[in-house]
């Protein structure tokens, strides 16, 4: 049995959720407008991506603190684009590569050494330091990407930005060469869906949104241009990764190799109290040993304002969702057992195991679709990286010394370094 990659899920990226209430309406609008503009091929590619990804991921619950820190993306990440692999890979290009939009630049027709004030050259186009800084500002505005505050890391950020923008220009050239054009209505539909979800419907909601854009120093047209750039790269990715399929035998073999990681891990329903000092934690233990109700002590003593009102309830969590030190104590305790004090970066913790849900081994029939999707995603990612790497090498980008990346010819990563983080937890 084989599946075309057009029905595939995602190379995992900085991705918006699969459940997209406006995607179906967007698809219809895209087909109509693109057909009018002679863009039926692109319309078909985007429409195919409205099928949701199969899988068994369970929505994470908001617990105590984000393990990996605050999310990196700003408001633009929430704009609904086509669902599935192709609908999300564009954010890989734009954010994981730390790439902005726009072709910008000015031209120096002489070859050889880069002129002063130029960060890099792609073909006959020189990109100035000022233009590169403008791209960094665009990333900050649209995606919340901030330059590092540590001066020691500024050089790495500068070189990453230079490579990212160079790759973006290379991709824009490929989009033009392949005749990919995103209709105005397609981008407008995506923006309208975002406004409806975040602000509301009607003229008043749109006016409110436009005022917010103006206050942030940008405009509706700038946002629409950014969306078009993202959708164009999305269509480019679709063209380069179409035709991928995997056999039932490959799926079975992958299941055997990945059986342990596919199992549902043991989960525990945990309640937690966090205080500032070890002495305070010991006082909490004394209260509990004297018969005090854990939930009551949490409501009066815990510093965690997210769980204090619920008696310290963190919900049901796996060990992988917890700080390692806290997890070892929590998963060593018996049912209804109290553990701690455990020190984490947020304070001293006393926990209680309310219930235990045993681990469930993976069964082939229940995860077959998930494994198949993983294989398709991996093949798509590999094909895209190979194709993009070749385009980068052909472009022979020339960097100024202060902007030259360590490996200028390699494609940027497509791993989910910025994937929305799971629910947080004590000490995470």
Looking at the structure, tell me whether residues 384 and 343 fall in a common domain. no
In a domain, 70, yes or no: yes
3-state class (DSSP) for residue 119: strand
In a domain, 21, yes or no: yes
Looking at the structure, tell me whether residues 77 and 18 fall in a common domain. yes
Looking at the structure, tell me whether residues 44 and 156 fall in a common domain. yes
- Single out the residue in 357, 383, 412 at which a domain terminates: 357
Distance CA 370, CA 246 (A): 12
Looking at the structure, tell me whether residues 323 and 375 fall in a common domain. no
- Single out the residue in 328, 357, 386 at which a domain terminates: 357
425 — pLDDT class (breaks 50, 70, 90): very low
Distance CA 206, CA 197 (A): 11
DSSP state of 107: E
Q: What is the CATH number of the domain that holds 277?
A: 3.10.50.40
Looking at the structure, tell me whether residues 174 and 269 fall in a common domain. no
Confidence (pLDDT) at 112 = 52
- Per the DSSP assignment, residues forming a β-bridge with 57 are none
In a domain, 397, yes or no: yes
pLDDT tens, 346-358? 899 999 999 999 9
Looking at the structure, tell me whether residues 284 and 236 fall in a common domain. no
Looking at the structure, tell me whether residues 297 and 165 fall in a common domain. no
pLDDT at 12 over 80: no
Distance CA 340, CA 333 (A): 10
DSSP state of 351: E
In a domain, 254, yes or no: no
Angle at 15 between CA 247 and CA 264, to 5 degrees: 60
* Residue 13 structural domain: 5-248+369-403
Confidence (pLDDT) at 75 = 38
Looking at the structure, tell me whether residues 272 and 181 fall in a common domain. no
In a domain, 422, yes or no: no
In a domain, 151, yes or no: yes
Looking at the structure, tell me whether residues 331 and 184 fall in a common domain. no
H/E stretch holding 267: strand 267-275
Structural domain total, the chain? 2
Distance CA 167, CA 410 (A): 10
| Packed helices 23-36 and 184-198: angle between N→C axes, nearest 10 degrees | 160
pLDDT at 120 over 60: yes
H/E stretch holding 8: none
pTM of the model: 0.60
Share the mean pLDDT of the chain.
76
Q: What is the largest CA-CA distance in the chain?
A: 83
In a domain, 92, yes or no: yes
* CB of 365 closer than 8 Å to CB of 321: no
pLDDT tens, 404-414? 999 999 987 65
pLDDT tens, 244-296? 999 999 999 999 999 999 999 999 999 999 999 999 999 999 999 999 999 99
pLDDT at 117 over 90: yes
In a domain, 408, yes or no: no
Q: What is the CATH number of the domain that holds 23?
A: 1.10.4030.10
DSSP H stretches of helix in 315-410: 324-330, 364-395
Looking at the structure, tell me whether residues 353 and 373 fall in a common domain. no
Q: Provide long-range contacts, Cβ within 8 A and 24+ apart, for 381-386.
A: 381/11, 381/414, 383/240, 383/241, 383/244, 384/11, 384/89, 384/237, 384/240, 384/241, 384/411, 384/414, 385/411, 385/414
pLDDT at 5 over 90: no
The label of the residue with tokens 């960097």 reads 399
Confidence (pLDDT) at 383 = 95
209 — pLDDT class (breaks 50, 70, 90): confident
* CB of 135 closer than 8 Å to CB of 100: yes
Distance CA 395, CA 398 (A): 9
Looking at the structure, tell me whether residues 201 and 56 fall in a common domain. yes
Distance CA 317, CA 18 (A): 23
Which range of 10-14, 41-45, 241-245 scores highest in mean pLDDT? It is 241-245
What are 97's two structure tokens? 């590569």
The label of the residue with tokens 């406006």 reads 22
Looking at the structure, tell me whether residues 274 and 185 fall in a common domain. no
């Amino acid at each position: 049995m084989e599946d075309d990659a057009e029905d595939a899920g995602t190379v995992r990226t900085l991705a918006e959720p699969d459940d997209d209430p406006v995607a179906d309406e967007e698809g219809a609008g895209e087909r109509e407008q693109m057909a009018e503009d002679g863009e039926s091929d692109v319309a078909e590619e985007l429409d195919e991506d409205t099928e949701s990804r199969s899988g068994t991921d369970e929505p994470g619950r908001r617990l105590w603190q984000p393990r990996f820190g605050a999310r990196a993306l700003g408001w633009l990440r929430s704009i609904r684009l086509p669902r599935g692999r192709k609908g999300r890979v564009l954010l890989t290009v734009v954010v994981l590569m730390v790439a902005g939009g726009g072709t910008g630049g000015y031209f120096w027709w002489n070859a050889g050494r880069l002129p002063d004030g130029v960060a890099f050259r792609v073909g006959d186009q020189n990109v100035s330091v000022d233009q590169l800084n403008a791209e960094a500002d665009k990333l900050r505005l649209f995606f919340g990407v901030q330059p590092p505050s540590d001066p020691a890391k500024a050089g790495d950020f500068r070189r990453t930005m230079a490579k990212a923008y160079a790759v973006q220009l290379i991709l824009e050239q490929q989009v033009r060469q392949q005749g990919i054009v995103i209709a105005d209505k397609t981008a407008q539909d995506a923006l309208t869906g975002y406004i409806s979800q975040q602000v509301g419907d009607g003229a008043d909601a749109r006016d409110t949104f436009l005022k917010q854009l103006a206050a942030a120093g940008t405009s509706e047209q700038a946002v629409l241009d950014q969306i078009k750039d993202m959708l164009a790269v999305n269509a480019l990715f679709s063209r380069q990764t179409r035709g991928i399929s995997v056999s039932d035998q490959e799926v079975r073999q992958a299941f055997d190799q990945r059986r342990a990681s596919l199992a549902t891990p043991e989960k525990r329903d945990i309640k937690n109290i966090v205080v500032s000092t070890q002495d305070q934690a010991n006082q909490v233990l004394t209260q509990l040993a004297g018969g005090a109700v854990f939930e009551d002590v949490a409501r009066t003593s815990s510093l965690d304002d997210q769980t204090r009102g619920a008696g310290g309830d963190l919900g049901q969590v796996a060990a992988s969702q917890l700080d390692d030190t806290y997890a070892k104590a929590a998963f060593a305790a018996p049912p209804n057992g109290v553990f701690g004090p455990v020190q984490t970066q947020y304070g001293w913790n006393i926990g209680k195991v309310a219930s235990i849900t045993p681990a469930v081994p993976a069964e082939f029939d229940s995860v077959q679709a998930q494994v198949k999707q993983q294989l398709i995603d991996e093949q798509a990612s590999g094909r895209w990286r190979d194709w993009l790497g070749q385009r980068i090498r052909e472009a022979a980008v020339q960097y100024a010394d202060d902007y030259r990346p360590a490996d200028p010819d390699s494609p940027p990563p497509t791993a989910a370094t910025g994937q929305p983080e799971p629910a947080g937890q004590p000490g995470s």
